[in-house]
Amino acid sequence: MANKTDVGAGHVHGTDPQHLIEKILASKIYDHSYWKEHCFGLTAESLVDKAVDLVCVGGTYGGQRKPTKFMCLLLKMLQIQPDKDIVVEFILNDDYKYVRILGATYMRLVGSPTEIYQYLEPLLKDFRKVRIRDPMGAYKITHMDEVIDGLLTQDYYFDIALPRLPKRVHLEAPKRLPPRVSGLEALKLLDETTGAGEGEQEQENEEDTSD
């Protein structure tokens, strides 16, 4: 069957990677014409071309909960299990927003907690607009960092149940992750935005040194 997982693909979280998408959604994808016409026989390379053409992200929409193309490609990635390098390349690319989100979502599904934080957190600095298809089928505008934040903090996103991700604090305690450096600090923007929440500490420090 064409919908079988690649024989070379290893198990993820102790199961067939395709099981990370619930059966009901997976069978909707298998029945979708985009899957049948455009996803058949895709390889890691030809999948890139399809991903570049994406114009929105989202889970399912409409009365019949039709899957988006984004979902079809995500399931395809689970099916063919591209090399980690390729997924990382998806995430690191700056030109194609939807390829980046596809890579990030895939990483969130199959990666280890440290990998997920390591690769997804830098994307919180990306504030470009992206289109997301809401359950009613309408296109909404959101931002890259909001999508990534959703992937990191929610347990259900894009209509799929995400594998459990430990809180950052619990990975920092045993030194498996360094503390997060916010994009604000990197840009030295914190001083500009004093008064609003975390800016205060930074300001105090500066006053001390100026004496």
Partner 1 sequence: ADGAGSDNEDLPATDDEDEDALLSAWKLRELQRIKRDQEQRDEFAKEAKEIERRRNMTDAEIAEENKRLGLKKGGDRGQMR
- Which residues sit at the interface with partner 1, rule CB under 8 A? 32-34, 37-38, 55-56, 66, 68-69, 97, 124, 127-131, 139-141, 143, 145-146, 149, 167-169, 180, 182-184, 189, 193, 196-199
* C-alpha pair distances (Å), 128 with each of 122, 124, 189: 14, 10, 18
Give the pairing type, strands 156-157 and 160-161.
Answer: antiparallel
Helix or strand run (H / E) with residue 106: helix 97-110
Shortest Å distance, C-beta 33 to partner 1: 3
Shortest Å distance, C-beta 152 to partner 1: 9
Measured from the CB atom, is 87 or 144 closer to partner 1?
A: 144
Return the sign of the alpha-carbon dihedral for residues 139, 140, 142, 147: negative
Measured from the CB atom, is 37 or 155 closer to partner 1?
A: 37
Shortest Å distance, C-beta 57 to partner 1: 12
Residue 47: name the closest of 94, 11, 3, 79 by CA: 79
Shortest Å distance, C-beta 85 to partner 1: 28
Measured from the CB atom, is 6 or 172 closer to partner 1?
A: 172
Measured from the CB atom, is 32 or 111 closer to partner 1?
A: 32
- Residue 135 makes CB contacts below 8 A (sequence gap 6+) with 59, 60, 61, 62, 65
Shortest Å distance, C-beta 87 to partner 1: 24
Please, what's the largest Cα pairwise distance for the chain? 74
